[in-house]
Structure 1
Amino acid sequence: MLFRGWGESVDGPWPDAAAVVDHVGVPHLVVTRHALVRRLLTDPETFRPDNALDAVTPIPVAALRVLAGHRFRLPPTLANNASASHPEIRAIVAEALHPDRVAAQQPWLTDLVRERVTRLAAALAAGEPVDLYAGLAADLPLLVLARLVELPDAPVGAVKDFARAALELFWAPLDGTRQLALAAEVGRFHTVLRAFAATGGGLAARLRAAGHSPDVVVGALFFLLVAGQETTSQFLTLLLHRLAGEPAVRAGLRAGEIRVADVVEEGLRLEPPIVTWRRVAAVDTTLGEVEVPAGTSIVAWLARAGRDPAVVAAPGEFRPGQRGSRRHLAFGAGPHRCVGAHLARMEAAVVVAEAATLLDGVTVVRPPWCPDNLTFRMPDAFVVRRT
């Protein structure tokens, strides 16, 4: 259950905290209530992030050798860093993604989205099916991120393949053959990152100038490429799919009765691309009425917390602007809250404002399919056709 049916079961009956055993027999405590999830994320002394990037399917020796051959390492940098170095690394990354720098990208991004929407609208008018993932959402966040932080000179497709391979390798239930193939994919691009970290400009240069080791520079770039763009393209796809089934919301947008920002927040609450995140108990403690021994792996069910009736008025309904809508935990909370939240919101707002009209009068030919994964939904193609 730990991998299957997160979407289907998110509205079902769940206790505040439940013991669940994963596919390899490892027990986890799944926490569902908003208040408890928030406590997990905002108390890093009791609930450490050390296991945030651990592979949920133990990586076999053959795949580890492949990774080692590429000098693959993930030292504590951002999501998995509880050390004294975290605030400085985070501050350097946050400066690169400063709201003023993000806002400066909005006109360029708006023009790009408008060009794509015009092309997709023409294809729909001609009776052709269009894939809103491939044709609109897939690479937008990567293109924006590249302008903000400077990234290795690599084809967009190669970066996207690497990011999806990393999300699968570390967070999916896998067999050994698949792990070996993914390790080769991740390892090859990690070599590119290592070379760029040594000489690249932008964020890499700022981290080097602050005295951080090559491994830390590579780790920060790795996490940005995986979490800083792939999750946003996933969210754009999930949000567009949701809006395709919400004609009243689209009508409200057209009439100016519903704010784009409220649509984005409600989308984050109901369709977060990251459904869970992990912590490990550093000491014996409790969560609600459940005793939690030190060393317990804890899964914070972010998607479920966004539907807590104690927080939001209509938990399962898409009602932009409703009470509690903005209290979701799609970006986490506390010292490890997503440093790119402002960027993701800007990108989503541009796409909603410019592309929602594409969904008027269409039929969904192929809804996004999400593979089994503990944390990431990873939707693929989203194909629509004019009715």
Structure 2
Amino acid sequence: MDRLEPGHHYDPLAHEDFDTPHRVFAELRAKCPVAHSDAFGGFWIATRHADIKRILDDPAEFTTTVRNVVPGASATGRRPPLHLDPPEHTPYRRAIDRALGARRLAAIEPVIETHVARLLDDFIAAGGGDFVEGFGSPLPALLFSDWFRLSDTQTTLLWRTAQAFVKAWEAFDIETVSRTSETLYDLARDLIADRSAAPLDPEVDPVSSLLAAVDVRGDPLPHEMLVGCVRQILVVGLVAPPVFLGSVAVHLSRHPDLAAQLRAEPERIEDAVEEFLRLYTPYRGFARTSRNGVELGGRRIEPGEPIALAYASANRDEAVFDAPDEFRLDRANVRDHLAFGRGPHRCAGMAMARMEFRIALRELLARTSNIELAGDVRMSGMPEVGPVYVPLRVEAA
């Protein structure tokens, strides 16, 4: 195994191409399903669906309050709901869920369609380019701009700062992480000050929803925790979509027959998105720690030791998914995937993300007749997994 050290250690810093991570995860599932790494201060990584599901289903034992992602940056503050366990996390989660209800999603669908159409028209008119920079990255920034009612200046600041933050995090550049994180905190403080002075409908505006929320005693949520929560929401929705959409573009370039089928049968696009989510889950670094110590995958893990949850590996586990590396439109158990996590910290924005991906895939296929790779992709580092640079040539339909 060219990327596994003796003792089946995991090396997240080794060079990766588009297929390398999944080959490594397959070997780990077969030979060392809970591996160790000395990178980022040391951590365990769970790769089997059953082990990850067990962890996600037991927040009483596996907490997010110590380490919730690998690599981590201690320079940043606490950001609910991710950094809290139930029941402390629950008021924050309910407030976010309220601003993502059916009414808000119905209103945001035509907004997504408008942004997708404009970005794709520009990308296709240029004959292609880096699909992540030209489409996958700005799309969620524009979407969040509408959800949070950001100004144009705030939208640009969010997008560019989040990009710099993610790159610094992947490089474990703590100085840049701290600097860019503080910019995002400042944006969160500005939004809270604006909504405190002039609240919007909490059924549609996440900041107003959080400001209206109360804890179990009926008290308003602490100001700095609100700031951390808004800052967390601003970043999390901008990280995964570019990586995921880049993976989808690579797959379509490799499988023009699938692209042709979906153009001919657009009613299958919803199924395709679900299978793409399973096949190209963009996470391997969300983490938990055991409160009491645990035996997992034949390993003894002590209390407080980080356990990274390789969702990308779990969703290709042959014990759950037949022929897991194949794309199958008719996969009966596709929704057993863990692309959005599970349990109390399951992704709050999953309905909006599914809508975003469905519209993006539908319009990409409708507006093109051919999609080709125009060079080598460049891969993300941990905690994500997938491409951050996807050079494409495209032909208009």
**TM-score band, normalised by the shorter chain?**
0.7 to 0.9
Q: Which amino acid aligns with 1:18?
A: V
Partner of 1:9: 21
Tell me by how many angstroms 1:16 deviates.
5.5
* 1:301 Cα offset (Å): 0.9
Q: Could you tell me the percent identity over the aligned residues?
A: 25
Show the counterpart of 1:339.
348
- Contact kept? 1:276, 1:303, Cα under 8 Å: no
Deviates more, 1:339-348 or 1:357-366: 357-366
8 Å Cα contact 1:3-1:374 kept in structure 2: no
Question: How far 1:309 moved relative to its partner?
Answer: 0.8
Distance 1:363 1:378 in 2: 15
Q: State the Cα deviation string for residues 226-253 of structure 1 (Å, max 9, x = none).
A: 1123322332222122222121211221
Report whether the alignment pairs 1:206 with 2:205: no
Q: How far, CA to CA, are the matches of 2:69 and 2:258 in structure 1? A: 39
Alignment of 1:81-92 (within 5 A): 81-92=84-95
Distance 2:67 2:271 in 1: 30
Q: Which residue of the partner structure matches residue 319 of structure 1?
A: 328
Measure, in 2, the Cα distance between the counterparts of 1:323 and 1:54: 31
Q: Secondary structure at the match of 2:326?
A: coil
Residue in 1 that maps onto 2:216: none
CA distance in 2, matches of 1:225, 1:382: 27
Deviations 1:5-37 (Å, cap 9, x if unpaired)?
A: 57513234114533312325x332211111111
Q: Which one-letter code corresponds to 2:381 in the other structure?
A: D
Distance 1:146 1:116, change over 3 A: closer
Range with bigger deviation, 273-282 or 204-213: 204-213
Q: 1:310 to 1:99 in 2, by over 3 A?
A: farther
CA distance in 2, matches of 1:137, 1:58: 25
Letter in 1 for 2:273: V
Equivalent of 1:37, from 52, 69, 72? Answer: 52
- 1:191 and 2:186 equivalent? yes
User: 3-state SS of the aligned residue for 1:10?
Assistant: helix
Letter of the structure 2 residue corresponding to residue 49 of structure 1: T
Partner SS state of residue 388, structure 2: coil
8 Å CA contact 1:141, 1:229 repeated in 2:
yes
Q: Note if contact 2:123-2:134 (Cα within 8 Å) is conserved in structure 1.
A: yes
> Paired residue for 1:283?
292
Q: Does 1:80 align with 2:75?
A: no
Deviation at 1:279, TM superposition (A): 0.4
SS of residue in 2 equivalent to 1:276: coil
Q: Give structure 2 stretches of 5+ with no counterpart.
A: 1-10, 200-204, 214-219
Q: 1:132 to 1:284 in 2, by over 3 A?
A: closer
Q: Cα distance, 1:156 vs. partner? A: 3.1
Q: 2:66·2:304 contact (CA, 8 Å) conserved in 1?
A: no
In 1, the alpha carbon distance for the partners of 2:337 and 2:15 equals 20
The one of 35, 38, 49 equivalent to 1:22 is 38
Q: TM-score normalized by structure 1?
A: 0.85
Change (3 A) 1:230 1:154: farther
CA positional deviation for 1:55: 6.8
CA deviation profile, 1:250-300 (whole Å, cap 9, x unmatched)? 122122187111111111111122233100001132224433332222111
Specify the alignment match of 2:64 in structure 1: 49
Q: Number of paired residues?
A: 366
Provide Cα deviations, 1:109-166, integer angstroms capped at 9, x if missing partner: 2233234434443443xxxx43333333222222222323434763433212222333
* Offset from partner CA, 1:342-368 (integer Å, 9 cap, x none): 111000000111112455334311354
Pairing of 1:1-387 with structure 2 (within 5 A): 1-4=11-14, 8-11=20-23, 12-14=26-28, 15=31, 17-24=33-40, 26-53=41-68, 56=71, 74-124=77-127, 129-151=128-150, 154-170=153-169, 172-174=170-172, 178-200=173-195, 201=199, 202-210=205-213, 211-256=220-265, 259-357=268-366, 360-375=369-384, 377=386, 379-386=388-395
Write the distance in 2 (CA, Å) between the matches of 1:296 and 1:181: 26
Q: Structure 2 CA distance, aligned partners of 1:18 and 1:288?
A: 5
**TM-score for the superposition, normalised by structure 2:** 0.83
Q: Kindly provide the amino acid, as one letter, of the partner of residue 114 in structure 2.
A: D
For each residue in 1:317-344, what CA deviation from the matched residue of structure 2 results, as whole angstroms up to 9, or x when unmatched? Answer: 1222323322211110011000001111
Give the Cα separation in 2 of the matches to 1:325 and 1:154: 40
For 1:168 and 1:134, the matched residues in 2 are separated by: 13
> 1:209–1:147: structure 2 CA closer, same or farther, 3 Å change rule?
same
Would you say the 8 A contact 2:34–2:297 is kept in 1? no
Q: Is the 8 A contact 2:164 2:180 kept in 1?
A: yes
Deviates more, 1:313-322 or 1:343-352: 313-322
Contact 2:69 2:287 in 1 (8 A): no
Contact 1:313 1:324 in 2 (8 A): no
* Distance in 2 (alpha carbons) for counterparts of 1:137 and 1:301: 22
